[in-house]
Amino acid sequence: MLLYLYETVHPSSSHAWAVYLCGVKRIAQSKIVTKGAGSAHPQIVFNWVYYHETIAQFGQLYWIQKHPSPVCRGKSSKELRQGPDVSDIDPSMIGCSIDVLESMSTIFDIAMRPEVSFSKRQELLGVESQLRRMISALPKLTNSDETSSSLHVTTQLHCIAALIYMNRATLGYDGTEPSHQTLVHKGLEVLSSIVPCETPWALFIIGCEVRSDLPRLVILEIISRSKRESRIGHLDVVKGLVEAVWNYDDLDPDARLDYNKKLLSIVREAPWMPPFV
């Protein structure tokens, strides 16, 4: 886990972080960790793995298609997280609500398919309803409990980014729909309220959707402030990817280029597979 985290900040090769994450997953499946898995501590580990392997799915969707590498795609932690009262694990220990991660994982799994069938589209609409319910159920943020507020903001950001990505990658939205633009504006509002932003995946997804100069400057300022005040070492890569998407959009004002093809063209040219965590 330490090697994986170090590689996400100081990469030594194009996919070393993914290899170490794969190693964490294999160890988690061993009897060393699963012995006494009903206790809280292994469940915290399994939830941590679930968060990181879910976010890793996104990078593998686009980067791995051009750069074959020994990255294990199999989802292991969902099966490992079979213990009593796993819902009692503090989500702040892993970075995001488990329910949101499960929705994101479903979206990524469907996005990997060349076509979205009718049944899968219905499944996505169910996921959409669930994510919107999660957003509406979040309490209003206050300054009285910084830890709780930070968790609610992170959950809200992942929900919004998941809905935006689902619209664009699986439901065929071109990004101009009023309901979609409402999500983008809300995402920008939430991003602007936190310093630093420690959710690179959500920052990337929301940042890719802005089309005019003013919100683009907001995104760049968020990245700049986050670089200064956080230890996320790959924000320069995220910034470069976002700016590349903006260049594509400026050259394609009618949004004729398929969203997934655009991301594939951009992400796979990164010098190393972005972990987005």
pLDDT tens digits, 218-231: 999 999 998 888 76
pTM: 0.88
Q: What is the CA radius of gyration of the chain?
A: 18
Structural domain total, the chain: 1
201 occurs within a structural domain:
yes
Q: Is residue 19 part of a domain?
A: no
Q: How many CB atoms lie within 10 A of CB 108?
A: 21
- DSSP state for residue 113 in the 8-state scheme: S
Q: How confident is the model at residue 71 (pLDDT cuts 50, 70, 90)?
A: low
> In this model, does residue 215 exceed pLDDT 50?
yes
Residue 23 lies in a domain: no
Q: Is residue 188 part of a domain?
A: yes
pLDDT at 88: 47
pLDDT band at 84 (very low <50, low <70, confident <90, very high): very low
Q: Are 20 and 4 in contact (CB under 8 A)?
A: yes
Q: Give pLDDT, residue 31.
A: 56
Angle, CA of 157, 186 and 162, to the nearest 5°: 40
Domain-located, residue 6? no
Are 246 and 216 in contact by the 8 Å Cβ rule? The answer is yes
Q: Which two tokens stand for residue 35?
A: 């012995």
pLDDT at 162 over 70: yes
Among candidates 274, 195, 198, 196, which has minimal Cα distance to 242?
Answer: 274
Do the domain assignments include residue 46?
no
**Residue 79 located in a structural domain:** no
Task: Check if the beta carbon of residue 149 is closer than 8 Å to that of residue 142.
Answer: yes
Residue 61 domain-assigned? Answer: no
Domain that holds residue 115: 84-267
For residues 173-192, give the mean pLDDT: 94
Q: Are 33 and 42 in contact (CB under 8 A)?
A: yes
Q: What is the mean pLDDT of the chain?
A: 83
The mean per-residue pLDDT over the stretch 131-144 comes to 76
